[in-house]
Chain A
């Protein structure tokens, strides 16, 4: 414990410097704006600002991007409460009771409870992350290529199971991402694969053009005719919750914190799942479940706390194992790699300033967000008044400059345009495009660990079943696959029996 506190002190020394603080503040501010604007999620926001992060020291870059992520988690609740439009997928559930409270003239307390719950849960989540990640990283040092391969495979299968579309569609997208990750020079043999003679493709398609195209450009292509919004604008004096509202929120906030953190460790978009689970738990535990849907403060406090704690929990596999099991973490890992840092269990010992600086920045970020979100709610609401006709050309400009500045490459801009077109078509056909980006980033790690495992075993595929960790992880992956397949197989058998 003393070590942990000492390390945390080191983290605060890193973060409490003017330059890092400024970027933490900027990240939170931009993230909140991204969260407030419907349609623009944290992924699009982070993708657009990736190039700026490449010119920064690693700790500052991660602090900036992580600030955008949890800023978006905070900001998403504002539009849910004031306009019944979720700014971010995790805030969908807040629309129900949050907006109902707003309609009853309690918009201020709903916003305050959401912000306070997010602060408590965000901070609680960081405490759990800080205590859990280092021992898990020590355990992960025993991981060899077979375990890494099994973990990545399990991550992709779990992500496909819990992502927004049907599992076969998500698996299709994950396979497409993995396949796109094969483009470029094979690091083991030196062969140039699928690059069609284009020299720029030797290094692959690039995660930034792909992510900006799939999330940023396709979003603009999809949002035709978006209207100017006229949200309610609560005054600062109306933000204080009543004693009854404050008392009713305490339990849901703590339960949401624990539920959110635990679900957050699950691969994929767990923050979305956590808010739904928290809502269901609060409704089940309530003595008056009939109030849910009619402005119950517990329906705001629980889910908002859960989605912020889940944001902290989702960093556990990334920081402890160096394995991104969600698209947001995949982007952060990509940034670390570009900046010359090898993510993995050794990150904590080799780059303590980065790990503990990141942890400390989350404490600071949560405080900044609390300060930003309550008094400045009017400012964020103002962003919703910018006519869409002006907003989307500006976002396009950000996408173009963001992608171009990475390598000054016209080809990467064309890749972004192609990814935008593909993302548009796939999303219209109700495919979730997040597994593409995750698959793309995991692809080299997956192939390398697979081939290294076979090299270790002299070509014996049973190596994956001779090692307990690898076998367990693969079994979880197969179990998840069966969870999806089994019901339809049982239905078919029942039909055949009936016939």
Chain B
């Protein structure tokens, strides 16, 4: 059985994207009406402009979908790339997970240990570089950048266990 054709898949991706944007607009409309005073037409309140902008967001998103579907459809190189390179999505997810983990870890672990872990992960686990090079680059970048920012540029960065 054949899977969906690239054109169908691209259209589906575009629709999902528009649905997400419309959803965002609807959430803003809902919260504007639920939490904030609308004011009057002569004197708009704090909800008025967000409400108008969220409505515009929904309208523009639907308009963009309409122009996509009514035009001669370009398969959409971006969406097709994803199919052509299955590793691309994995790479994107890895980057996102690593950045999120670093964000959560930076206060308890400190800057140097967090960055060291991040670099060891990317160079050692993801890119599988030689262990000695991985260690040298990771230590040099994490501790070197700390020295640059903390000592030279006087930008305070968090320290973790044992003052590292």
Contact = CB atoms under 8 A, between A and B. Distances in A.
B45 A454 contact: no
A404 B54 contact: no
Contacts of B66: 168
A179 B26 CA distance: 12
Which of A176, A414, A425, A460 gathers the greatest number of chain B CB atoms within 10 Å?
Answer: A176
Interface residues of B, number: 73
B41 interface: yes
Given A217-B99, A397-B118, A397-B141, A410 B153 contact: no
B153 A55 contact: yes
A338 B83 CA distance: 43
Interface string B27-64: 01001000111001111111001100110110011011
Contacts of B43: 454-455, 459
A172 interface: yes
B78 interface: yes
B76 interface: yes
A267 to B, nearest CB: 18
A224 B96 contact: no
B67 A166 contact: yes
B92 A178 contact: no
Contacts of B155: 51-52, 55, 405
Interface stretch (A12-20, A183-191, A327-335, A339-347): A183-191
A454 B42 contact: yes
A421 B50 CA distance: 24
Contacts of A414: 100, 103-104
A428 interface: yes
A408 B149 CA distance: 13
A182 B127 contact: no
Given A176-B57, A222-B92, A459-B40, A416 B99 contact: yes
A348 interface: no
Contacts of A154: none
Contacts of A455: 43
B122 A392 contact: yes
A113 B77 CA distance: 34
Interface in B128-164: 129, 137, 141-142, 145, 149, 153-158
A450 interface: yes
Contact of B42 (A389, A416, A427, A459): A459
A205 to B, nearest CB: 13
Contacts of B61: 172
Given A52-B153, A400-B115, A390 B137 contact: yes
A171 interface: yes
A413 B103 contact: yes
A215 to B, nearest CB: 14
A431 B78 CA distance: 10
A320 to B, nearest CB: 27
Given A172-B21, A396-B118, A221 B50 contact: no
B126 to A, nearest CB: 8
Nearest to A451: B44
A103 B25 CA distance: 51
Interface in B91-121: 91-92, 95-96, 98-100, 102-104, 106-107, 111, 115, 118-119
Contact of B88 (A52, A193, A224, A458): A224
A218 to B, nearest CB: 9
Contact of A175 (B56, B98, B149): B56
A313 B112 CA distance: 42
A490 B104 CA distance: 54
Contacts of B67: 166, 168, 488
A430 B76 contact: yes
Interface string A419-438: 01100111111110000000
Interface string A232-251: 00000000000000000000
Interface in A431-457: 431, 447, 450-451, 454-455
Contacts of B157: 401, 404-405
B64 A169 contact: yes
Contacts of A176: 21, 24, 57
A429 B87 contact: no
A447 B47 CA distance: 11
A221 B53 contact: no
Interface in A119-161: none
A394 B28 contact: no
A236 to B, nearest CB: 31
Contacts of B56: 171, 175
A375 interface: no
A478 to B, nearest CB: 15
Given A416-B99, A421-B96, A424-B92, A168 B106 contact: no
Contacts of A179: 24-25, 28, 50, 53-54, 57
Interface string A188-202: 110101100000000
28 contacts: A51-B155, A172-B57, A172-B61, A172-B63, A175-B53, A178-B53, A179-B24, A179-B57, A193-B35, A221-B96, A222-B88, A225-B91, A389-B127, A390-B123, A392-B95, A393-B119, A394-B141, A396-B118, A400-B102, A404-B157, A405-B157, A410-B104, A413-B102, A420-B95, A424-B92, A430-B76, A430-B78, A488-B67
4 closest Cβ contacts across the A-B interface?
A459-B42, A413-B103, A168-B64, A221-B92
Interface of A: 51-52, 55, 166, 168-169, 171-172, 175-176, 178-179, 182, 186, 188-189, 191, 193-194, 217, 220-222, 224-225, 389-390, 392-394, 396-397, 399-401, 404-405, 408, 410, 413-414, 416-417, 420-421, 424-431, 447, 450-451, 454-455, 458-460, 488
Interface of B: 13-14, 17, 20-21, 24-25, 28, 31, 35-37, 40-46, 49-50, 53-54, 56-57, 60-61, 63-64, 66-68, 70, 76-79, 81-82, 85, 87-88, 91-92, 95-96, 98-100, 102-104, 106-107, 111, 115, 118-119, 122-123, 127, 129, 137, 141-142, 145, 149, 153-158
